[in-house]
Amino acid sequence: MCVIGKPSIWERSGPAERQQALLNLAAQTDIVATASKHNGRVLGIPQAFFQSQTSFVNARLGNVSRPRTYTTTINAGFCSPPITAAVSAVSQLFPTTTPESASLLLLISLIASPNISLPLGLLKDMLQPRRRWDPNGGCSPSSSETTFQLSKSLPTTEAGFQDALLNLNLAGAIFHDFDNSESLTIEADISSSVLSLLSGAHVDSAFWRREALLASCQMIPFQYLEPLLSKETLNYVATLLERCIEDVRTKDGFHSLPNSLRTYVALCLIEVSKWPGLTQKRRAIHAAQEVMAGIKDDYAESNIAQRQVVLDRLDGKMSSAIHGIDSVLSHLRSAEPSTYLLHASAGHATVERALNFFQHEQLGKSLSELDTWSPLSQVPAPAEVPVLLRINLLRAKMLRFQGNFTQSHTYLVLCSDLIKRQHPNSLLLDKEKTSVACELVYVLRELDRPEEAEQAAVHALSCPGCAGNERSLLLLAYAEALFAQGRLGEAEAICQQPQDSPSKMTRLLSFITMAKIRHTQSRLTDSMSLWTQALQAMNKFPPTSGHATRAIHVSISQILNQQGVMDTAEQTQVMIRDLESLLDRAEAKYWIPGLRHWCDYLTSA
């Protein structure tokens, strides 16, 4: 039996399941014929083995509960004829399957790539309704209209799900290690056999392509409503969704879907466009535009346009980004929003327009733009809360850039209070919580309160959900707070922690903090190298007014003077004077936290 599966599987099974597993082995392989060729006496071995092991296994199991026995059939009143027929066909292919396990096998065959692990958590999530935004700006379970119909015949409890998995495992339909694995696999021949039941002259293949598309949409968590998936799972879902969309596009056309489903699929694609990876973002937005072609929905169109603006800004196409968001806001503001959800979308568009100004260092215009939006009522709808949070966080950041540190701190406190009221019971704001904490550490540093900055960083780093690039930035803010207290060794240890896929900003901050540490330690050669790397990292950002660049050049100039490289030091001074001629017009004076204090240190040294 252990050749067929893990011992833990057979300990959970009863005699009938073990016997059927051996019969399946004989039916699906040439094991009996091969054994017969070498020794005729082996023909009875599977049955003899089973009979000899039954009493031993039963003795080991004692009173351990067995999987429940299914005697029910799927209620045809809740399932469409294609599903009822498909479940019946699967049951003929695998006679020991139950209605629920047969339905689960259909789902696995639709969404799993053969011989590639399917995350078990992803499969479990699909068995329950997903949280989605409703027109009133609240969040509700996904509607039956946008849920794949096969879900009505799937297990609805954890126990039922585990029973169905075990049943499929024993039938040889899938492989899942109950002890060690958080995933399952289905072999290519099994998947092909099941999928062949869903095609042919007498089968509604378009129905099953739509089922696969909606099932893939069911995997997608919406931002602020459900936890983000792991990087590996994100890639799995994005690839599956792309495949399902291609199937519908080429074989049926998007016009074959009701408009409500097309809108829902487009909204799911918008969520995918928020995941990491520029290529993936572009594909998702392009697909959303294709799906929505020819139909009108202000909310979906607004969101697609906003995501395109983000892409244009990331690609450096600022004229397109400016024109795109201006068009969105012009349309949304031409009439009063009909729903809280549409008003929230207008709020997000307002933030994007403010970010366009921010990109050009027009902080005054950006702040004025943020003032044009407010919630429809005194108590914001759930969909309006993230907008309010984004606006106040961006406002706090720009006030810090301007040097209005006390005002910035006030808005960060408002952000923190809003998060405490909403997270995690109503909305999931882990990313925003970490970003607010990071900005708070920066502001406390600028207010000469490095001990409080350290405490804020330590507390935020210990919170669940503190992850990704936001965590990396928070760690570097923590390092700056430690540097401000003269704790150079601790700050250095943080800067030297390995990072997964560091962003432009984390690289820049890491170089600057390490350069300051080496400079303070009079390790001039190392410091010069780090300042040079910081300057190179700075060049990857859009041109700024030059405060941060000036601080780096002043640092380099001091090192050159100490090293006696006077010609190069003089050339650096010329660049510094050129930069200083631009500073009076600058709005962003304090982009990099701590550089203000560093320049004071260099002047006094």
Of 485, 501, 517, the one marking the end of a domain is 501
* CATH code: domain of residue 440: 1.25.40.10
Of 204, 230, 255, the one marking the end of a domain is 204
Q: Is residue 385 part of a domain?
A: yes
Evaluate if residue 57 carries a pLDDT over 70.
Answer: no
Q: Is residue 75 part of a domain?
A: no
CA atoms within 13 A on the CB side of 500: 7
Higher local confidence (pLDDT), 256 or 567: 256
The verdict on 382 and 464 lying in the same domain is yes
Query: pLDDT band at residue 9, thresholds of 50, 70 and 90?
Result: low
Quote the mean pLDDT of the chain.
Answer: 87
Q: Is residue 339 part of a domain?
A: no
Evaluate if residue 60 carries a pLDDT over 60.
Answer: no
Range name among 57-71, 243-257, 490-504 with the lowest pLDDT average: 57-71
Residue pair 354/394 in contact (Cβ under 8 Å)? The answer is: yes
490 CA to centre of own chain: 31
The predicted pLDDT at position 502 comes to 82
Evaluate if residue 83 carries a pLDDT over 90.
Answer: yes
> What are the tens digits of pLDDT across the range 283-292?
999 999 999 9
Higher local confidence (pLDDT), 335 or 307: 307
The predicted pLDDT at position 545 comes to 62
Closest listed residue to residue 598, CA positions, set 564, 550, 566? 550
The predicted pLDDT at position 17 comes to 67
Evaluate if residue 42 carries a pLDDT over 50.
Answer: no
Range of the domain at 33: 7-61
Range name among 17-21, 534-538, 588-592 with the lowest pLDDT average: 17-21
* CATH code: domain of residue 192: 1.10.10
Q: Is residue 33 part of a domain?
A: yes
Q: Is residue 336 part of a domain?
A: no
The verdict on 449 and 553 lying in the same domain is no
> What are the tens digits of pLDDT across the range 379-391?
999 999 999 999 9
The verdict on 490 and 521 lying in the same domain is no
Full DSSP string of 480-540: HHHHHTT-HHHHHHHHTS--SS--HHHHHHHHHHHHHHHHHTT-HHHHHHHHHHHHHHHTT
Q: How is residue 183 written in tokens?
A: 């995933």
The verdict on 495 and 524 lying in the same domain is no
The verdict on 590 and 496 lying in the same domain is no
What is the distance between the alpha carbons of residues 291 and 282, in angstroms, rounded to a whole number?
Answer: 14
Q: Is residue 590 part of a domain?
A: yes
Query: pLDDT band at residue 598, thresholds of 50, 70 and 90?
Result: very high
The verdict on 388 and 453 lying in the same domain is yes
Residue pair 141/130 in contact (Cβ under 8 Å)? The answer is: yes
Tell me the pairing of strands 183-184 and 139-141: unpaired
The predicted pLDDT at position 390 comes to 98
Q: Is residue 251 part of a domain?
A: no
Query: pLDDT band at residue 564, thresholds of 50, 70 and 90?
Result: confident
The verdict on 158 and 129 lying in the same domain is yes
The predicted pLDDT at position 65 comes to 32
Higher local confidence (pLDDT), 48 or 189: 189
Query: pLDDT band at residue 583, thresholds of 50, 70 and 90?
Result: confident
Q: Is 448 helix (H, G, I), strand (E, B) or coil?
A: coil
Closest listed residue to residue 208, CA positions, set 77, 289, 90? 90
% of the chain with per-residue pLDDT over 90 = 69
Q: Is residue 120 part of a domain?
A: yes
DSSP state, residue 13: S
Mean pLDDT, to the nearest integer, of 533-559? Answer: 87
Of 204, 230, 254, the one marking the end of a domain is 204
The predicted pLDDT at position 306 comes to 96
Evaluate if residue 54 carries a pLDDT over 90.
Answer: no
The verdict on 387 and 490 lying in the same domain is yes
The predicted pLDDT at position 145 comes to 87
Q: How is residue 130 written in tokens?
A: 């997903």
The verdict on 140 and 200 lying in the same domain is yes
Closest listed residue to residue 516, CA positions, set 546, 544, 554, 468? 554
What is the distance between the alpha carbons of residues 317 and 309, in angstroms, rounded to a whole number?
Answer: 9
The verdict on 440 and 484 lying in the same domain is yes
Query: pLDDT band at residue 23, thresholds of 50, 70 and 90?
Result: low
What is the distance between the alpha carbons of residues 342 and 136, in angstroms, rounded to a whole number?
Answer: 9
The predicted pLDDT at position 541 comes to 85
The predicted pLDDT at position 49 comes to 38
> What are the tens digits of pLDDT across the range 95-116?
999 999 999 999 999 999 998 9
Evaluate if residue 472 carries a pLDDT over 80.
Answer: yes
What is the distance between the alpha carbons of residues 112 and 200, in angstroms, rounded to a whole number?
Answer: 21
Range name among 54-68, 371-385, 512-526 with the lowest pLDDT average: 54-68
The verdict on 57 and 123 lying in the same domain is no
Evaluate if residue 39 carries a pLDDT over 70.
Answer: no
| R_g of the chain, CA atoms, integer Å | 30
Query: pLDDT band at residue 68, thresholds of 50, 70 and 90?
Result: very low
58 contacts: CB under 8 Å, gap ≥ 6: 15
Evaluate if residue 56 carries a pLDDT over 90.
Answer: no
Residue pair 343/355 in contact (Cβ under 8 Å)? The answer is: no
Number of structural domains the chain divides into: 4
The verdict on 409 and 522 lying in the same domain is no
